[in-house]
């Protein structure tokens, strides 16, 4: 285990130890053992946002990850659907994000959530106040136009002779004019645990922009079909990607050219475990669209009398979020944020570093390839949001700098570390999930050793259809020290070589005593 030892040196040493000390077992490494996850790089945020994020974490005595990840979701709510990042050629990334933070109970998720999203609700209220008078005027105009059309139709119906045709034509013209009048929708920025159908309607009403922000995980149950009995994730898949959304309803047709749905969720880790069991989420790619944060709880280590958020820091955060939201609210065609050549080079360098890790065999991210394959695009989105937060007044008139892109890459690396652990928690790695099942079988059977055939016979065919499905799980348990493979010597007779047997760690047998 010296620093200059090669992989081959290690393999030889392990083989020598196994052959010379067959009865000696080291303490096994738990399957759920994970390296310590990095904290949220709050310094990657613009100064005003970093100061507020750190202050909220201090006041609430919560991991800075929660406020930091939600800060990105807040920026995406303000800018989503109103700006896009021009990566290269025809590749554009919208600036909406799906973010989920997983923390256990008693971690004050609701308090952090309310603090971070408060300015969005204030901006929504201000938009509604500004729109109230035009809405009332439009409603009254439409009502009067319908009444005029109805009166003209009634008059035409009672008239006979040469005047009838003229009155009918007039009634038709008035009805068409009434039908052409539109009433502006009441502005909405935020929704909570709404159904997919309601979210689709709100997206259509709000010009394609909406955020689902919730301190609970109920939205996953709704997507899975809590009310309808049938999973419905179309609006979430298309809302993240910006793909055209068309929904036909009995009363009307809803069409959104480029939907931009943002999601900011704070849930308990058990919620992620549960959704990991729903293969439909992963199969359709919904789980691959989220940026995951799994911070370490501070419960048991919190200050009793922490420093409050400074008033000036809180006021600046509220002022800036409201200003960013209102400045982009009236945009119909999204503002295009180009990259400087240096920013483009930084993103390309990140993509180059990432690509080998996506290999199905041997790649660090191969088993979460669906998620990792979207990471470069997510990094461009984050860069666009950081850029707008750094240039509140004229961000849409400037290109994204290399420094901003490097900050986005640092955040992407953070989310990558956390995604690896979260997908482990959700059982996305089939070999790890099967290894856990195998470990339970070995612990309950009390074997000192077992043949591969006998072990395979004890396993469910639904999880282990073939012997080939058994091998990766066995290899993983070997790496963790729970068993050893032993091939019996040949007897000298012809035929197949003896099948391997597995020696079981004594600790598994002792657990059953």
DSSP string, 434-500: HHHHHHHHHHHH--SEEEHHHHHHTS-TTT--SHHHHHHHHHHHHHTTSEEEE-PPP-S-SSSPPPP
User: Where is mean pLDDT largest: 282-296, 397-411, 468-482, 489-503?
Assistant: 397-411
Asked whether the predicted pLDDT for residue 216 surpasses 90, the reply is: no
The strand pairing partners of 485, in sequence order, are 502
Tokens 């989503």 found at:
80
CA 513/CA 508 separation, integer angstroms: 10
Give the pLDDT score at 17: 46
CA angle 229, 235, 241 (to 5 degrees): 140
Which of 177-191, 278-292, 335-349, 439-453 bottoms out in mean pLDDT, i.e. has the lowest?
Answer: 278-292
Cβ neighbours of residue 309 closer than 8 Å, sequence gap 6 or more: 52, 55, 56, 58, 59, 115
**CB–CB of 443/508 below 8 Å?**
yes
CA 153/CA 149 separation, integer angstroms: 6
Helices (H) and strands (E) in the chain, counts: 19, 13
Asked whether the predicted pLDDT for residue 20 surpasses 50, the reply is: no
Asked whether the predicted pLDDT for residue 352 surpasses 90, the reply is: yes
CA 488/CA 242 separation, integer angstroms: 59
R_g over Cα of the chain: 30
Give the pLDDT score at 338: 97
CA 96/CA 261 separation, integer angstroms: 6
pLDDT bracket for residue 290 (50, 70, 90): very high
Give the pLDDT score at 440: 87
pLDDT bracket for residue 227 (50, 70, 90): low
Report the DSSP pairing between strands 98-102 and 290-293.
Answer: parallel
- The percentage of residues in the chain with a pLDDT greater than 90, rounded to a whole number, is 51
Phi/psi for 244 (5° steps) reads -55, 135
Q: Is the model more confident about 117 or about 17?
A: 117
Which of 180-184, 221-225, 261-265, 442-446 bottoms out in mean pLDDT, i.e. has the lowest?
Answer: 221-225
CA 14 to chain centroid: 41
Asked whether the predicted pLDDT for residue 444 surpasses 50, the reply is: yes
pLDDT bracket for residue 486 (50, 70, 90): confident
User: Where is mean pLDDT largest: 147-161, 169-183, 266-280, 290-304?
Assistant: 290-304
Cα-Cα-Cα-Cα torsion 457, 463, 466, 472, nearest 10 degrees, comes to -100
State the chain's mean pLDDT as an integer.
87
Cα-Cα-Cα-Cα torsion 210, 216, 220, 222, nearest 10 degrees, comes to -80
Give the pLDDT score at 406: 98
Q: Please name which of 136, 248, 245 lies closest in space to residue 184, comparing C-alpha atoms.
A: 136
Q: Please name which of 401, 380, 398 lies closest in space to residue 88, comparing C-alpha atoms.
A: 380
pLDDT bracket for residue 90 (50, 70, 90): very high
Mean pLDDT confidence for 269-279? 74
pTM: 0.78
Q: What does the pLDDT look like over 384-416, one tens digit per residue?
A: 999 999 999 889 889 999 999 999 999 999 999
Q: What is the DSSP string of 117-184?
A: HHHHHHHHHHHHHHHHHHHHHHHHHHHHHHHHHHHHHHHHHH--STHHHHHHHHHHHHHHHHHH--PP
Give the pLDDT score at 253: 74
pLDDT bracket for residue 254 (50, 70, 90): confident
Structure tokens at 98: 């799906």
Q: 199-204: long-range contacts at Cβ-Cβ below 8 A with a sequence spacing of 24 or more?
A: 199/235, 199/236, 199/239, 199/261, 200/235, 200/245, 200/247, 200/254, 200/256, 201/247, 201/254, 203/235, 203/239, 203/245, 203/254, 203/256, 203/259, 203/261, 204/245, 204/247, 204/254, 204/255, 204/256
């Amino acid at each position: 285990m010296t620093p200059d030892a090669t992989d081959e040196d290690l393999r030889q040493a392990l083989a020598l130890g196994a052959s010379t000390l067959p009865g000696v077992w080291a303490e096994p490494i738990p399957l759920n053992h994970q390296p310590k996850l990095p904290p949220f790089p709050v310094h990657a945020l613009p100064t005003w946002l970093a100061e507020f994020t750190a202050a909220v974490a201090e006041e609430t005595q919560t991991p800075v990850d929660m406020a930091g990840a939600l800060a990105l979701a807040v920026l995406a709510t303000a800018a989503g659907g109103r700006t896009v990042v021009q990566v290269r050629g025809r590749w554009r990334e919208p600036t909406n994000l799906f973010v989920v933070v997983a923390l256990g109970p008693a971690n004050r998720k609701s308090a952090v959530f309310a603090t971070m999203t408060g300015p969005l609700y204030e901006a929504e209220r201000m938009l509604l106040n500004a729109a109230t008078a035009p809405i009332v005027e439009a409603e009254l105009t439409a009502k009067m136009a319908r009444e005029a059309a109805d009166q003209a139709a009634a008059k035409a119906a009672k008239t006979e002779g040469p005047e009838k045709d003229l009155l009918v034509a007039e009634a038709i013209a008035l009805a068409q004019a009434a039908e052409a009048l539109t009433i502006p929708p009441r502005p909405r920025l935020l929704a909570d645990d709404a159904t997919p159908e309601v979210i689709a309607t709100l997206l259509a009403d709000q010009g394609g922009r909406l955020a689902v922000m919730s301190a609970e995980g109920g939205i996953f149950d709704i997507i899975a079909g809590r009310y309808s009995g049938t999973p419905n994730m179309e609006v979430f898949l298309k809302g993240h990607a910006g793909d055209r959304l068309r929904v036909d309803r009995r009363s009307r047709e809803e069409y959104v050219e480029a939907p931009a749905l943002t999601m900011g969720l704070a849930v308990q880790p058990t919620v992620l475990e549960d959704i990991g069991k729903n293969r439909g989420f992963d199969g359709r790619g919904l789980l691959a669209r989220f940026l995951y944060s799994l911070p370490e709880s501070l419960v048991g280590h919190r200050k009793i009398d922490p420093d409050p958020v400074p008033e000036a820091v809180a006021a600046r955060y509220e002022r800036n979020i409201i200003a960013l939201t209102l400045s982009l609210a009236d945009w119909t065609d999204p503002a295009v944020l180009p990259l400087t050549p240096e920013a483009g080079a930084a993103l390309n360098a990140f993509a180059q570093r990432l690509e080998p890790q996506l290999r199905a065999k041997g790649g660090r991210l191969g088993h979460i390839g669906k998620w990792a394959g979207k990471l470069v695009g997510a990094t461009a989105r984050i860069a666009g949001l950081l850029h707008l937060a750094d240039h509140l007044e004229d961000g849409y008139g400037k290109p994204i700098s290399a420094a901003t892109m490097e900050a986005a890459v640092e955040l992407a690396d953070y989310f990558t570390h956390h995604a690896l652990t979260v997908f482990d928690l959700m059982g996305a790695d089939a070999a790890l999930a099967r290894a856990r099942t195998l470990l339970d079988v070995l612990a309950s059977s009390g074997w000192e050793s077992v043949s591969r055939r006998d072990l395979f016979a004890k396993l469910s065919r639904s999880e282990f259809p073939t012997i080939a499905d058994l091998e990766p799980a066995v290899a993983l348990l070997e790496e963790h020290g729970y068993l050893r493979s032993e091939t019996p010597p040949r007897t000298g007779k012809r035929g197949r070589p003896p099948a391997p047997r597995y020696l079981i760690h004594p600790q598994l047998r002792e657990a059953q005593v």
